Structure 1
Amino acid sequence: MDISIIEGTIKVLKNNNFEVFSASDPEEARTIFLNEIYTQLQPATVSWGDSQTLQSTHVLDDLEKNPEVALIRTFGAGMSRTQKVYWRRQALLADLFLAGTNAVTQKGQLVNLDMIGNRVGGITFGPKNVVLFIGVNKIVPDIEAAMQRIRTWTAPQNILRHQGFNTPCRKTGTCMDCRSPHRICNTWTITEKSWPAGRIKIILIHQELGL
């Protein structure tokens, strides 16, 4: 991606009250998180939403080894649906919430689409601080382009990552605006600005990562 687009996006994100860090790769993003963000915030509780970009940094492995932080796990193979919903509600009270974003516009807006809303809920309200790990491939011109990208690429690819979700897009590879009980496209959020200023921190990684 053109470096001028990346730099311009960082500038408008900062103007929109997001705190932005720039990383060349996932390892540098991990270093920034541990040395510049985590040490400053010193959270007692941390939770996270599903994000391949976050996983690529391995910061969750570091947190797992830290006896000073309590992790609120909201999904896992051994968890029932009731347990997942319970812990996802508890995650909204965490000191720190980690996630990615589906898209970020060149106007400095975050655009996300969720199935039940726990990830977007954590981003928009609840946790004291939020850190989003974002690859530059998520940068799009505007909200319309963001929604198009999410419908035609992100959501269908996410369906393929999870077994048991039988939606039309699993076969077609694009959104069919379905009425399936397994539909994951239920709640849109557009975050224009971080409030309070700096609550949402972004580590923009100069690689194509995640969906």
Structure 2
Amino acid sequence: MTDFTKVKANLEKRGYAVSCFATAAEAADYLDGKLDGRTIGIGGSVTVREMGLLDRLKAHNTVVSHWEGSRKEDAAFTQVYLCSVNGLAETGEMVNIDGVGNRIASTVFGHEELYLIVGRNKLASDYDGAVWRARNVASPKNAIRLQRKTPCAVKGDKCYDCNSPERLCRGMTVLWQPSNGIGRTEVVLINEDLGF
């Protein structure tokens, strides 16, 4: 079992609200109970999908997700935004890599509330480890999932910093503290492996 004590304390010191859950089911119950009658944008988060949150939240919220036929940019105009991160340092930095920019843009601007949902597999000991994980673990797995023709998808082992027109890792954000462009940011830590 992963001990979230250190990362939770570091995130709170940086100004984040933090909640911890033993299972994805418990975290899904928490978010489903907390978010009601809202407009909710969901980035291309495998974590959110694996938790079954999409259907649960749609029952009593207006949910905007490109997996449900919405345009990627529509999620930028919602009250609440849900996504995960590609790497979380125990020191509190959170790293995301994106190809289009919709996900990383929505983590820094425009929403009343932001929930960053993070499984234990996303943890790294420090900032460099979180960046390494985002580039060499999450990005190749996403490229494979999306059947991209990139070296990382073909070999599945690391980022090749390629020039492929199908490259997914075109932009990266590092969240050191909650953005002034977001109303409230909460990090939801889950003691299960989720997403990439």
- State the TM-score, normalizing by the size of structure 2: 0.91
Partner in structure 1 of residue 6 of structure 2: 8
Distance (Å, rounded) in 1 between the aligned partners of 2:12 and 2:86: 19
Contact residue 41 and residue 81 of structure 2 kept, 8 A: yes
Question: Which segments of structure 1 move beyond 4 Å, counting only runs of 4 or more?
Answer: none
1:4-153 superposed matches below 5 A: 6-35=4-33, 37-39=34-36, 42-43=37-38, 45-66=39-60, 69-75=61-67, 87-153=71-137
Aligned-residue sequence identity (percent) comes to 28
Distance (Å, rounded) in 1 between the aligned partners of 2:116 and 2:40: 13
Contact residue 152 and residue 160 of structure 2 kept, 8 A: yes
Letter in 2 for 1:72: V
Distance (Å, rounded) in 2 between the aligned partners of 1:75 and 1:57: 15
More helix by share: 1
Distance (Å, rounded) in 1 between the aligned partners of 2:74 and 2:193: 32
Length, aligned pairs only: 194
CA RMSD of aligned residues (A): 1.8
Unaligned 5+ segments in structure 2 are none
Contact residue 104 and residue 111 of structure 1 kept, 8 A: yes
Unaligned 5+ segments in structure 1 are none
Give 1:198 shift: 6.8
Letter in 2 for 1:209: L
Give 1:209 shift: 1.6
Task: For residues 93-128 of structure 1, give each alpha carbon's deviation from its aligned partner in whole angstroms, at most 9, with x where no partner exists.
Answer: 210111111011111111111001100111111122
